[in-house]
Chain A
Amino acid sequence: MAGFDWGSIAASLPFLMKGLSYTVQLTVIAAIGGTIWGILLALARLSGIAPLAWVAAGYVNLMRSVPLLLVIFWFYFLVPVMLQWITGAAYPPRIGADRSAYVTFILFEGAYFCEIVRAGIQSIPKGQLSAAYAIGLNYAQAMRLVVLPQALRNMLPVLLTQTIVLFQDVSLVALLNVTDLVGAASKIAQRDSRLVEMYTLVAVIYFVLSYALSLAVKALNRRIAIIR
């Protein structure tokens, strides 16, 4: 460790923090967007309307069977070409790596969140839905006011755990030359030839944040167990 250059770490911090802030932003937006998209997919799968359930199930199974990196490349490289083909434009539209990343992660995570939410909805006793109907609520109200709040509360620890996984998966966007935390680190690493310092530092940052979050989820889990 004699050659470990602490000075280069200090100098790189402002740039790395910019990368971290993008990573956090992408994680939060993908988690929120993915949850909303996941809820819609879960409702579609449980709707009892066969074509709707079938399409949602097909989508979820497809997303969950393809590696994330491939989905990222697919959206970044192929979707613009498809859009060009559909619209008949002269050039593929420029979507930009970071916008493409937002869309990709929301659509990809939606599939995982869907399965979590679906399990959550199915964990609510059927009598709750009957009781909601019995007091005059319609299906949408019963779901929104009675079933989903309970399902999401039960599923919150799993949703947050999935979000920690997402936080780490977001680093794949570095391959699109986006300046997330890993992207920022690798740019400095290559510019200053400080690969050891940069990649070690980023690993430590990831470990500290992910571990702290997982401890928070554990604590939350205990609290929820008490309320139940």
Chain B
Amino acid sequence: MPMIEIRDVSKWYGQFQVLADCTTHVDKGEVVVVCGPSGSGKSTLIKCVNALEPFQKGDVVVDGISLSARGTDLPRLRARVGMVFQHFELFPHLTVIENLCLAQRKVLGRSRPDAVGKAMHYLDRVGLASQRDKFPGQLSGGQQQRVAIARALCMDPIAMLFDEPTSALDPEMVGEVLEVMVGLAREGMTMMVVTHEMGFANNVSDRVVFMDAGRIVEDCRTAEFFGDMGARSERARQFLGKILPNRVRAEQGQSTR
């Protein structure tokens, strides 16, 4: 049974349709990368999975629970699905350890020692145990994003959603965040990842979903997606053609500076 099922989801901002009949799924333990040009609706789609974005048509079912059914306890459902944002969104008025304990205490009702123990476990895992009493503003972008991942893991999520987790980072910090994500994937975490990191998609993901103009254009095994370009849609070929050389060019630009 899929952990996350997205069924015919459509969404409009006024007259403008941002999502058109999107259907896909993420199985338990599967890593699915969602990619596509900017404005294609991939961030909107992933935010529909934990109901941060409302949608007008279709349904999302997470672990057998329908988001659009009456009586679904959305806060409780969200607490079980971890989410990592492009801009980290740590709470700047709380220390690292307080960021990690807040929802454990207020939502799960864990005792302070239990919450701190769990928090320290995951902080250690992302290599930031020594930063526990710092404020987010005192950390680098890469460190903040690793704390944000730890914050989500503290809730013992059944799945993790990543919304462009490395897009706001300086290039030298991308690696440390991806490394944590690769580790999670290897351990069998169910993951849905919106990203432009085609290396991560190619090496780690099981499936790739390609979106354009609010539609899911491609949804196939990763080996297929990167292997047989001839079988890909024209739009996906254009996108890959642009994004892959772009990265090479960017790296060359770095070295000449």
Which chain B residue has the least Cβ–Cβ distance from A141? B106
- Please tell me if the beta carbons of B76 and A131 are within 8 angstroms of each other in the complex: no
Q: What is the interface size of chain B, counting residues whose CB is below 8 A from a CB of the partner?
A: 28
Cross-interface CB contact of B93 among A131, A135, A153, cutoff 8 Å: A153
What is the CA–CA distance of A137 and B79 in the complex, to the nearest angstrom? 8
- Please tell me if the beta carbons of B52 and A135 are within 8 angstroms of each other in the complex: no
What does DSSP make chain A's interface, helix, strand, loop or mixed? Answer: helix
Give every chain B residue within 8 A of A134 (Cβ-Cβ): 50, 52, 78, 81-83, 85, 152
Q: B132 at the A/B interface (Cβ < 8 Å)?
A: no
- Please tell me if the beta carbons of B91 and A128 are within 8 angstroms of each other in the complex: yes
Give every chain A residue within 8 A of B135 (Cβ-Cβ): 227
Give every chain A residue within 8 A of B169 (Cβ-Cβ): none
Categorize the interface residue count of chain A.
20 to 34
- Please tell me if the beta carbons of B89 and A131 are within 8 angstroms of each other in the complex: yes
Chain B residues engaging chain A, CB cutoff 8 angstroms: 47, 50, 52, 75-76, 78-83, 85, 87, 89-93, 102-103, 106-108, 135, 137, 151-152, 155
Give every chain B residue within 8 A of A131 (Cβ-Cβ): 83, 85, 89-91
Q: Contacts A125-B87, A130-B85, A136-B155 given; 9 further ones with Cβ under 8 A?
A: A131-B91, A133-B75, A135-B79, A135-B152, A136-B76, A137-B75, A137-B102, A150-B92, A228-B137
- Please tell me if the beta carbons of A130 and B89 are within 8 angstroms of each other in the complex: yes
Cross-interface CB contact of B78 among A127, A128, A135, cutoff 8 Å: A135
Q: A138 at the A/B interface (Cβ < 8 Å)?
A: yes
What is the CA–CA distance of A82 and B159 in the complex, to the nearest angstrom? 60
What is the CA–CA distance of A130 and B50 in the complex, to the nearest angstrom? 10
- Please tell me if the beta carbons of B103 and A136 are within 8 angstroms of each other in the complex: yes
Could you jot down 26 A-B contacts, CB within 8 Å? A125-B87, A125-B89, A127-B89, A128-B89, A128-B91, A130-B52, A131-B89, A131-B90, A131-B91, A133-B75, A134-B78, A134-B81, A134-B82, A135-B78, A135-B107, A136-B80, A136-B107, A136-B108, A137-B102, A137-B103, A137-B107, A141-B106, A149-B93, A150-B93, A153-B93, A227-B135
Give every chain A residue within 8 A of B137 (Cβ-Cβ): 227-228
Q: What is the CB-to-nearest-CB distance from B141 to chain A, in angstroms, rounded to a whole number?
A: 14
Give every chain B residue within 8 A of A68 (Cβ-Cβ): none
Of the candidates A130, A135, A138, A227, the one having the most CB atoms from chain B within 10 angstroms of its own CB is: A135
